[in-house]
Amino acid sequence: DVIKIDCRYTREARRSAKGAEVLRHLLALCRELAPCVVLEGLEEDDAFARLPTGDVYLQGN
């Protein structure tokens, strides 16, 4: 099974601390439900440096 997290969550995580916290919790939940989690919407090499990705696959637009 694969869960893809929409790019809107990635954008909001870049914009605010609350958005980053929402994404952090969403990632934790998804990791419990599926062996593969894909985080969409990464457009720059350093864009994910501030995001709590861990063992999540990353996908650009």
Which pLDDT tens digits describe the chain residue by residue (61 residues)? 889 999 999 889 889 999 989 999 999 999 899 888 888 887 765 455 555 556 666 666 6
Q: What is the pLDDT of residue 6?
A: 93
Q: What is the pLDDT of residue 40?
A: 84
Q: Residue 3 in contact with residue 37, Cβ under 8 Å?
A: yes
What is the residue extent of each domain of the chain?
2-58
Q: What is the pLDDT of residue 8?
A: 94
**Cα 1 to Cα 31, 34, 54, distances in angstroms:** 11, 6, 18
Q: What is the pLDDT of residue 16?
A: 93
Cα 16 from Cα 4, distance rounded (Å): 21
Give the number of other CB atoms < 10 A from CB of residue 53: 17
Q: What is the pLDDT of residue 39?
A: 84
